């Protein structure tokens, strides 16, 4: 859809919602996710809506029920977060939406920096403070939403009731995390690398806890640095995968350098410690056991193993959507050429191998901080995988 048509539809949507003749005086295209068109629009002054600028997100129809279900989930997630108090709300709030027009209008976070850009900094103090702020923001979101799952579920159920044809795709990602994790382990075994029993056991524990942990809270789950904005405060964008899940997956995502993110995002041990300390300070009143370092380390290590193994599956198939729809059909004997160092790789494959290297190296470093032999076994396994995909530049 042309930007001009998106603008017309967004103006009409805001006018219906707030009254008056809402009009944009200028628009700017922003970087979006996937096929989405994202515009920042400045509003003409008027009494009905006090916003000076808004962000318009249009998600084109792809014919894929999986994409439609993700859009429905994002709308429900914004409805939920909009109802939260400002100090807890993890990001922008929603002003209006129209599922049939595939359109959302949300508040404007301003001209902050993307976390991905800030990660390029060579200033260790600035980076550590940035990770500390991220830990605090994540902790506030987790602590502020824990126990509110029923409210979110009510909104989500209401949306899917209006579009029952999307119900089969509703929880596809969560249902697939376990199979993707175990399929990743199969791909690694087929590459000639032994997956120790304790690694498989910790991975199984993590995927079980994803849906049944006592430490559950709202999470966007897609904590890509491109979806984190640092302005007056740290905010999270894009809720296509949002739900209530085990919060340790969020922690592991950051400690692991954001698995499945193609840019350089290595988090040092010192930065990871600062991040976790800030997070614990926000949540320990509601989850006292997070102050137990050994307990927290085991949970994060298990979740990080799941992230690492599922990333092998996802990146092997080329995308999240392809992985989720291919797991049942894939030949169990298949291997991935990405582990064969003598292959002639494309630029995209080099990026994938670098992502594997960074994720498994992070897993090795973090696991080794644990206090029992299992974590030494995990670290040795992760180092073997990392060595297999190590690029010459390393």
Query: pLDDT value at position 27?
Result: 92
Query: pLDDT value at position 102?
Result: 95
Q: Name the nearest CA neighbour of 34 among 74, 77, 92.
A: 74
Residue 55's alpha-carbon distances to 27, 41, 187, 222, in angstroms, are 9, 6, 41, 20
What residues contact 130, with CB distance under 8 A and at least 6 apart?
115, 118, 119, 121, 230
Burial class (CB in 10 A: 0-12, 13-18, 19+), 255: buried
Burial class (CB in 10 A: 0-12, 13-18, 19+), 344: exposed
Rg (C-alpha) for the chain, rounded Å, is: 21
Q: Which residues of the chain have pLDDT under 50?
A: 332, 394
Query: pLDDT value at position 55?
Result: 94
Measured CA to CA, the distance from residue 8 to residue 23 in angstroms comes to: 9
Continuous H helices in the chain: 3-18, 65-82, 115-118, 124-145, 149-162, 172-190, 197-212, 248-255, 269-283, 293-317, 320-326, 347-367, 373-388
Query: pLDDT value at position 332?
Result: 47
Looking at beta carbons, which pairs linking 317-322 to residues 24 or more positions away fall under 8 Å?
A: 320/173, 320/260, 321/64, 321/66, 321/67
The CATH architecture of the domain made up of 3-107 is 2-Layer Sandwich (3.30)
* Tokens of residue 70, six digits: 């993700």
Model pTM score: 0.91
Burial class (CB in 10 A: 0-12, 13-18, 19+), 21: exposed
Q: For 346-375, what is each residue's pLDDT tens digit? A: 888 888 888 899 999 999 999 999 888 999
The CATH architecture of the domain made up of 113-388 is Alpha-Beta Complex (3.90)
Q: Which residue has the tokens 């995308």?
A: 319
CATH 3.90.1200 region(s) of the chain? 113-388
278 — phi, psi (to 5°)?
-65, -40
Q: 3-class SS at 348?
A: helix
Residue 218 pairs in a beta bridge with 244
Query: pLDDT value at position 222?
Result: 78
Query: pLDDT value at position 387?
Result: 94
18 — phi, psi (to 5°)?
-115, -10
Measured CA to CA, the distance from residue 145 to residue 170 in angstroms comes to: 21
The conformation of residue 44, written as its DSSP 8-state character, comes to P
CB 248 within 8 A of CB 344: no
CATH 3.30.200.20 region(s) of the chain? 3-107
Strand order in the sheet with 113-114: 113-114, 228-230, 234-236
Measured CA to CA, the distance from residue 254 to residue 222 in angstroms comes to: 11
Query: pLDDT value at position 133?
Result: 95
Around 385, how many Cα atoms within 13 Å sit in the side-chain half-sphere?
34
């Amino acid at each position: 859809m042309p930007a001009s048509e998106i603008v017309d539809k967004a103006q009409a949507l805001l006018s219906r919602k707030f009254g008056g003749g809402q009009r944009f005086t200028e628009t700017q295209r922003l970087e979006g996710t996937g096929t989405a068109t994202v515009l920042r629009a400045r509003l003409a002054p008027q009494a009905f809506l006090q916003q000076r600028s808004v962000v318009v997100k249009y998600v084109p129809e792809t014919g894929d029920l999986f994409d439609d279900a993700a859009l429905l989930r994002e709308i429900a997630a914004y409805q939920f977060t909009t109802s939260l108090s400002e100090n807890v709300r993890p990001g922008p709030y929603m002003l209006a939406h129209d599922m049939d027009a595939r359109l959302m209008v949300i508040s404007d976070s301003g001209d902050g920096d993307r976390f991905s850009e800030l990660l390029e900094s060579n200033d260790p103090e600035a980076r550590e403070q940035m990770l500390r702020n991220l830990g605090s923001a994540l902790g506030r979101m987790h602590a502020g939403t824990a126990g509110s799952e029923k409210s979110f579920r009510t909104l989500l159920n209401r949306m899917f009731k209006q579009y029952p044809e999307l119900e089969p795709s509703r929880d596809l990602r969560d249902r697939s995390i376990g199979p993707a994790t175990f399929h990743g382990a199969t791909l690694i075994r087929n590459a000639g690398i032994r997956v120790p029993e304790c690694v498989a056991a910790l991975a199984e524990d993590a995927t079980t806890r994803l849906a049944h942990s006592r430490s559950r809270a709202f999470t966007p789950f897609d904590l890509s640095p491109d979806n984190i904005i640092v302005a007056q405060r740290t905010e999270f964008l894009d809720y296509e995968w949002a739900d209530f899940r085990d919060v340790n997956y969020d922690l592991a995502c950051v400690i692991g350098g954001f698995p499945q993110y193609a840019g350089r995002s290595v988090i040092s041990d010192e930065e990871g410690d600062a991040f976790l300390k800030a997070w614990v300070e926000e949540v320990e009143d509601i989850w006292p056991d997070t102050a137990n370092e050994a307990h927290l380390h085991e949970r994060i290590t298990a979740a990080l193993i799941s992230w690492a193994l599922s990333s092998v599956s996802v990146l092997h198939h080329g995308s999240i959507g392809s992985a989720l729809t291919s797991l049942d059909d894939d030949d169990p004997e298949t291997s991935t050429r990405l582990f064969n160092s003598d292959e002639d790789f494309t630029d995209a494959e080099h990026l994938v191998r670098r992502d594997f290297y960074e994720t498994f190296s992070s897993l090795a470093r973090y696991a080794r901080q644990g206090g029992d032999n299992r974590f030494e076994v995990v670290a040795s396994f992760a180092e073997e995988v990392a060595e297999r995909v190590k690029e010459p530049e390393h």
